[in-house]
């Protein structure tokens, strides 16, 4: 987790729901983003606050600092909330690169307990179909003409609980609206960010899920049909 998600509403709808009370630096239009199968290795709109304004920047989903690349470590797409604030890989991002990923839901693959080769994808989303915001940490240079190769972001994950653990043991870190805004603020200390991440997680009982077709497994497949419920899932 988290290896795929959906981001299909308009920029304006996400920001109106967040009700940030902070000026947005840029223009908003009514055109849906329309991505139903967002995959690692692609550029994703990352919501971040710089000084007193909110920005949306297309940032590479994945992070591989130079030292990790030199040692042969592959890019990472997620960071565990339990260790991200203190580990060598992610501490710099946690301290100064906190951001949010706007989303409408995410996908997980449930394994057959008797045959690990058999997996069934599920789409997980808020029960009220509200927008959700994944906590993310990042390193990127929005004003650079030639961005460094190690620019990127990862989604912060937490342990699943209640019904979600039946699908997967990890989930994206989704906090309350107020905590999400404080998470992004440059004035929030790394220590306070840890408190937010551990104490203001939206509970699993606010989410629901349904099985979807295997087409989501191919990054070239996209469109609204990806999130449609299917009958007779294999798991």
Element housing 15 (H / E) = helix 11-18
Task: State the catalytic residue, choosing from 2, 70, 82, 224.
Answer: 2
The question of whether 108 is a catalytic residue gets the answer: yes
Q: At what angle do helices 190-199 and 177-184 cross, to 10 degrees?
A: 160
Count the helices and strands in the chain (H runs, E runs).
Answer: 5, 13
For residue 106, which phi and psi values (nearest 5 degrees)?
Answer: -140, 170
What distance lies between CA 110 and its chain's CA centroid?
19
Which strand ranges, in their side-by-side order, compose the sheet holding 105-112?
35-38, 5-7, 105-112, 115-126, 207-211
Q: Show the CA angle centred on residue 145, arms to residues 67 and 188, nearest 5°.
A: 65
d(CA 96, CA 198): 18
The question of whether 2 is a catalytic residue gets the answer: yes
Which residue, among 148, 39, 135, has the nearest Cα to 84 in the 3D structure?
135
Task: State the catalytic residue, choosing from 13, 108, 182, 231.
Answer: 108
Which residue, among 124, 116, 106, has the nearest Cα to 235 in the 3D structure?
116
DSSP string over 128-162: T---EEEEEEEE--TT-SS--TT-EEEEEEEE--G
Q: Where in the sequence numbering do the catalytic residues fall?
A: 2, 108
């Amino acid at each position: 987790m988290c290896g795929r998600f959906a981001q299909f509403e308009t920029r304006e709808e996400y920001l109106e729901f967040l009700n940030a009370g902070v000026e947005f630096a840029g223009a908003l239009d009514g055109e849906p983003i329309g991505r139903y199968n967002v995959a690692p290795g692609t550029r994703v709109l990352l919501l971040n606050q710089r000084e007193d304004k909110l920005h949306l920047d297309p940032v590479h989903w994945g992070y591989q600092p130079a030292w990790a690349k030199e040692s042969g470590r592959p890019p990472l797409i997620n960071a565990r909330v339990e260790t991200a604030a203190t580990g060598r890989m992610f501490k710099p991002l946690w301290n100064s690169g906190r951001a949010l990923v706007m989303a409408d839901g995410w996908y997980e693959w449930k394994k057959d307990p008797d045959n690990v080769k058999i997996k069934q994808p599920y789409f997980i989303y808020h029960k009220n179909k509200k927008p959700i915001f994944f906590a993310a940490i990042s390193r990127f240079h929005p004003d650079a003409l030639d961005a460094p190769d190690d620019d990127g972001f990862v989604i912060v994950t937490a342990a699943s609980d209640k019904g979600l653990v039946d699908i997967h043991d990890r989930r994206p870190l989704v906090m309350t609206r107020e905590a999400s805004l404080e998470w992004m603020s440059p004035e929030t200390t790394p220590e306070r960010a840890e408190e937010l991440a551990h104490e203001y997680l939206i509970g699993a009982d606010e989410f629901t899920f349904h099985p979807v077709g295997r087409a989501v497994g191919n990054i070239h497949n996209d469109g609204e049909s990806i999130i449609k419920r299917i009958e007779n899932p294999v798991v």
